[in-house]
Structure 1
Amino acid sequence: MKKLFLFSAFLVGLWLAVFTFKIFNMGGEYQSIIVNFKDDIALTQLEESLNQISLKVNDTPTLNSSFSGDRNVYVLEGNKETLKTLRRSGLREKIEYIEPNYIYHTLDIPNDPDYSKQWNLRAINLERAWADSKGEGVTVAVIDTGVSRVPDLEQTEFVEGYDFVNDRTEALDDVGHGTHVAGTIAQSTNNNYGVAGIAYKAKIMPLKVLGFGGGTVADIAEAIRFAADNGADVINMSLGGGGDSHLMRDAIDYAHKKGVVIIAAAGNENDNSASYPARYPKVISVSALDAIGEKAPYSNFGAGIDISAPGGSEKGLIIQETITGNNQQPSFEGFQGTSMAAPHVAGVAALIKATGIKDPEEVRQILIESAREVAEDPFNHYGAGRLDAGGAVQLALKGKITVKDFLRWLRDSGYLNPGFWIDGGTIMLLPKLGMVVGSYLLAWFIRNYLVFNMSLASGMVFGSSGLFILQGLYIFDLPQWPLRLMGSSLPELGNVVMGTNSLNPIFASALIPFILIALFLGHNTLKWVAIGSCLGVASCLGISAFSHPHVWGLGTGMMAQGFLVINALICFGLAYLASKNDQVVT
């Protein structure tokens, strides 16, 4: 009976997972219903069905368009209640399908009037990234010529910085370069003015180290340490030179150890190597692309390049608001250079950090793995490839369900409707709560592993229940123990060997799942069998802990129950860790 329950629970869980995943990805806004009648329905039956629908929902379906007649696609106004009524209407034999007529929208396009001129933001697939992250809670230090609060930075949040050139707190820009760079990272966006920025909900920390004549390594190193000590998550350095420096290297190592992602421009000399500080191993070095996605003619390349991003050229400049002229008036200006490319990567790094990624090496890896690879790049013009903001954020969110996702799912599933919780009284409250939490966890599981494949499923069956049907199979004159062995779950194999109902603590533990993970972690298919076994064993041990906690040597009390629960949690942790670095379930 216990085995039947386990196997049934697994099948129900699989169905719920698929169903929940469908809800999670299909739920959306709609105000009308699609009714698609079968193509071979007779005209009289069609008219009769339309009349029946009109009587049930007080609205007459109409053809969606003049092209829909041959396919019998009709639309009528309605909501979820209308959809339920239609699905229970008794017309299923005449209808191919009934479904919501979902409303799709354009992706998150800001209302800034000159956003259309920012080819560079569309080139990095930014609108897709904005659906999940806008840089909330992240601070980007701009180590440059300072930053002035031009009108299109008025809604951008600033934190206290420092002017290392003049040794004062206020780090105003007197050149225009740093303000332009800060605009690319976090220009005020959706303010009906000017242009947009990449991580426009991030905070800017202005650190002035450059004037008209450049700046010193000592000031730049001090600024790096200041940023690390004052809460910066990302550092952008659109600057560089030709000399290696122990002081600079130490400062970069210091910031990196404190979790700061450091990005620098590769240089504008068209040389076959990045300049410093972009050359340092713990700095992400950025080369520049022109408007057609090719290496910009001025950009450095070769040794030290990690990734490429839009930097502009005469055929297409990078437009942001900055200050110009002797009177330093605000103006929208087009610049070009690797100085313009680096803040694109800094902005995307902020989007990644906002998803909860803390480790700078993990941010680097996400940027590199999500970059659009260039097939032929013998001179390393592009590093890992062209920056892809949308791909980077999606990769950062793999295995996560954001608060926004959860609330949208609750709304679309009807769980925010008070009637859902009231109907059935207090007796149904706990089961309903379990259903909501359980299906949410199943949605997380499916999103984490992308698809539920046969390798994973077979491992789960082996770990949780085995082919338990074989235990009841009797073949004349053949020994029963092989059938009992094949019909047992992994934790119960010891029972068959020892001929007892008491779980063997060696088999009913995380030991064998750990061995399977260690043996098969490097194999694309068997790895998922091992992961599935971990999850199956976790399920079996968890249920056994509360239904039949009988472990050899530990009895049937609290010790046995604690042993099973702890090992169930370890098995789940093993499965999570083993799957964490995988990109695609094969």
Structure 2
Amino acid sequence: MKKFLLMCLFIVGIGFALCPYKGFAAQGEFNSIILDFREDIPATEVQQEVAGLTQKYNLSPRLNSEFSAADNIYILEGDAATLKTLRDSKGLRNDTEYIEPNYFYRAFTTPNDPYYGKQWNLRNINAEQAWDETAGDGVTVAVIDTGVTQVPDLKDTQFVEGYDFVNDRADATDDFGHGTHVAGTVAQSTNNNYGTAGVAYQAKLMPLKVLSASGGGTVADIAEAIRFAADNGADVINMSLGGPSPSEIMEEAVNYAYNKGVVVIAAAGNESSDSASYPARYPHVISVSALDAAGNKAPYSNFGAGVDISAPGGGESGQILQETIDPSTGEAVFAEFQGTSMAAPHVAGVAALIKASGDYSPDEVLDILQESSRKIDGDSLNYFGSGHLDAGAAVKLALKGNISFKDFFRWLRDNGYLNLRFWIDGGMVALLPKLAMVLGSYLLALFLRYYFPFAWSWFLTGGLVAGSSGIFFLRGFYVFDLPQWPFRVMGSSIPELGNAIQGSSALNPVFASVLIPAVLVVLFLGHPKWKWFAIGTALGVSSCLAVNAFISPELWGLGDGWMARAFLIANALLCFGLAKLASQGETNAA
């Protein structure tokens, strides 16, 4: 058994080595470094440390903004070599909470061809039904982005004081166009006989500029904007921005806002990757993937790890129309954008509608969003999280009062989310069918043992697991910036290996047949121990195929009808017959 495990680890290691992926080299861009000195250190000591850095390394640390003094957050110019030098300084490490790159995060707008069209996105989320009950009155949504310019179609929208963290000033107007477009989706003035509508058009907007005219910004500015929003009355935060690398200072800011009851929402990212970007990936952030006009996953949208829900983001068949500015002239224009940046403010707007319907905590808002979403069957790669955003259903549920654990548990059960991957980071592997496959393989082995007595062993157990379910919970594991296929392979049973790398839900008839168990029996028939691994795989495959024949009989080339069921049942019987034949006359230890 040890040899078998070592062989598996070797194969997986080779797979990681050969797989073409960016890996840990795909870190974010930065040209400055964050020094977060401990709050318990006296200001005079901090100043001495700063002066020492200037003298010793010829660096010039500065407060990030006028709000940085309370938290002792300093920024200094530097690259990876400077970062390493600072981290190697024992004294500096002892006096700081973080020494980390001040990464650039960018807006998630993808190239598009602007044109005028109807707002299919608002009908898609059933906004009209929600507006019958509320339009978000009394709720404040902070838009942490490139700033917001009060274009004509935001004339009737209420604004509260914001801040420009890029230029350190109170005026947070937009010079890029992205933030104004995002703000329009949240709360564009509506019923004013002009332009377009917004999801929560009676909500207040708090413009917080953290991205420059180039669409980029630093995690230090974003983290301070999150804290500013939490400290100044924001109920909901929208961040249509992100980057590939985590940041402790930003995660701390997110947790700070969460603990103050603020709902934090972020775009999943536009790299078509199987994990959300940061800050969407953090536990206390609602991560949003993008849909096209047909309700499919938008081609650019990230998916998989961390995605909580999906919303309209636009695609070739239709993009998201709002009024914004032309960054080259500063003039107001109606423009269509696409991206997860456009999907996130739909969820932020609906979160505002939910908050206007009752005094809900961030966790309760997430529960309402997920419970009311339209579930998508067969979402094997977690494209949609809990499903498609439904504003009407969300407000209806919010108005009923708090969700009890019993109600939420019933929803999880009814929608098939009682499985390991749902709780880890997605929703792909159904737990109950997997348990049925494992249990079935053990029952078949016990039945066989009744007629051909043999002692149990780890070889037989390993074969039963490999043939029936694999280490199925590994299919729900994600390691950020690493390929996911090795986890799918390790988490697959033998019949599922054919579709593990592609992530398809259809079984490959070559793997989902008696063929591989027969090859293993032939190879190991003369080996006193490995023979039982081959017999175990035959029994496990028999159980797996039998369960799939009833719950998911989808096969390449045969579809999911009676032909597929007949194929699976026939091969399940052949596998059991093979195991029985190989076990005859055996009374040795298995």
TM-score (structure 2 length as normaliser): 0.48
TM-score (structure 1 length as normaliser): 0.48
Give the structure with higher Rg (CA).
Answer: 1
